Structure 1
Amino acid sequence: MELHLGVGGNPTDTLWVSIKGRAGTRVTIVGVCYRPLNQDDRADEALYRQIGAGSRSQALVLMGDFSHPHIYWRDDIAGYKQSRRFLECVDDNFLLQVIENSKRKGAMLDLVLTNKEGLVGNVKLKGSLGCNDHEMVEFKILRAVRRAHSKLTALDFRRADFGLFRDLLGSVPWDKALEGRGAQESWLVFKDHLLQAQE
């Protein structure tokens, strides 16, 4: 299915493909996106709705040039409002960014995002094609998602009861709990309550 958004005169070109494997295997949704640098907020929100719909699939791989040079992926922070909103979309949809070192003019613009750890493997940067400044990225979509062997416990926030979470944190008498404490000590108190509510 091909979708072209024409919101506000700045189209976002996206192409969405459904790949079916053998009988009994999952369907993988693959999306390709080009977002112009000067795209307006309405077109961005339409794109984010598409990304949200795609992320609800069992397996998603989304790639392209999203034109957000002010995102610092290692620190999960962004310098500008539109870039912060894109990062929120990525976080809200539990997407992982798998390219580590593709940069143009010092910024990472060409991205590969997925909603399953281990779905994308053997990522290789192949340089640019002709005089184009985009990186060619080669990778494999793995049929069976590799299980990541990690000793870290990760919580499944897709099943979280955020209403209860908000109520638990809202019931803490914060004025009393943080009274007379400095910034570092206040942070530790807040973090302790947050982790208790999370559990």
Structure 2
Amino acid sequence: MGDFNHPDICWRDNAAEHKQSRKFLECVDDNFLLQMIEEPMRRGAMLDLILTNKEGLVGDVKLKGSLGCSDHEMIEFRTLRAVRKALSKLTTLDFSRADFGLFRDLLGRKPWDKALEGRGAQDSWLIFKGHLLQAQE
């Protein structure tokens, strides 16, 4: 959580105008992080962010107005314990037993252009991840 000062980032489209902001987005994507703030807080920009690596770990995110003369918004959120307990169970995959041909076939059956049309990066990732996990089973 913090003030990341990338006002040109559009989190809905996963896009940015400036090179430094695009590098920041690339870092977020490369580390499979989710940005949890949904409302702009400072002059229409999302500068104060909550990043997490686990869907469902952070919830009940609320902007609470500014404190005194600050141009920052206070952010209230919860760390959800149910997910925290699940984090203690480590599951690993045995890739030597994987049928990558079948995996590729299962993912290739989905008409991705239509499934992701008009969706932002976060929604697209969640849809793709759901199909990825289903194919993994």
| TM bracket, shorter-chain basis | 0.5 to 0.7
Counterpart residue type for residue 40 of structure 2: S
Per the alignment, residue 7 of structure 2 pairs with 69
Instruction: Could you tell me which runs of 5 or more consecutive residues in structure 1 were left unpaired when the two chains were aligned.
Output: 1-62, 147-158, 160-187, 189-197
Name the amino acid aligned to 1:131.
Answer: C
Contact 1:102 1:135 in 2 (8 A): no
2:16 equivalent in structure 1: 78
Q: Which amino acid in the other structure matches residue 79 of structure 1?
A: E
Q: Is the 8 A contact 2:41 2:72 kept in 1?
A: no
- CA-based RMSD of the aligned residues comes to 2.2
- Verify the 8 A CA contact 1:102 1:125 in the aligned structure 2: no
- Please report how far the alpha carbon of residue 102 of structure 1 lies from its aligned counterpart in structure 2 after TM superposition: 3.1
Query: Which secondary structure state, in structure 2, belongs to the residue aligned with residue 145 of structure 1?
Result: helix
Q: What CA deviation, in whole Å up to 9, does each residue of 1:18-58 have, x standing for no partner?
A: xxxxxxxxxxxxxxxxxxxxxxxxxxxxxxxxxxxxxxxxx
Counterpart Cα distance in 2 of 1:105 and 1:128: 13
TM superposition shift of 1:106 = 1.8
TM-score, normalised by the number of residues in structure 1: 0.42
Matched residues in 2 for 1:75 and 1:123: separation? Answer: 20
Q: Matched residues in 1 for 2:81 and 2:8: separation?
A: 33
Q: CA deviation at 1:87?
A: 0.3
Q: Higher relative contact order by CA 8 Å / sep ≥ 6: 1 or 2?
A: 2
Local SS of the residue matching 2:20? helix
Give the aligned length: 89
Q: Counterpart of 1:95?
A: 33
Runs of 4+ aligned residues of structure 1 deviating over 4 Å after TM superposition are none
Stretches of structure 2 that go unaligned for 5 or more consecutive residues are 85-94, 96-112, 114-131
Shift of 1:80: 0.3
Q: Which structure would you say has the larger Rg?
A: 1
Percentage identity across paired residues of the two chains = 74
Tell me how far apart the structure 1 counterparts of residues 43 and 26 of structure 2 sit (CA, whole Å): 24
What is residue 50 of structure 2 aligned with on the other side?
A: 112
More strand by share: 1
Q: Residue 42 of structure 2 contacts residue 71 of structure 2 at CA under 8 Å; is this kept in 1?
A: yes
TM-score, normalised relative to structure 2:
0.60
Q: Quick check: which one's helix share is greater?
A: 2
**Paired residues for 1:11-30 under 5 Å:** none
For 1:132 and 1:102, the matched residues in 2 are separated by 16
1:162 corresponds in structure 2 to none
1:94, distance to aligned residue in structure 2 (A): 0.2
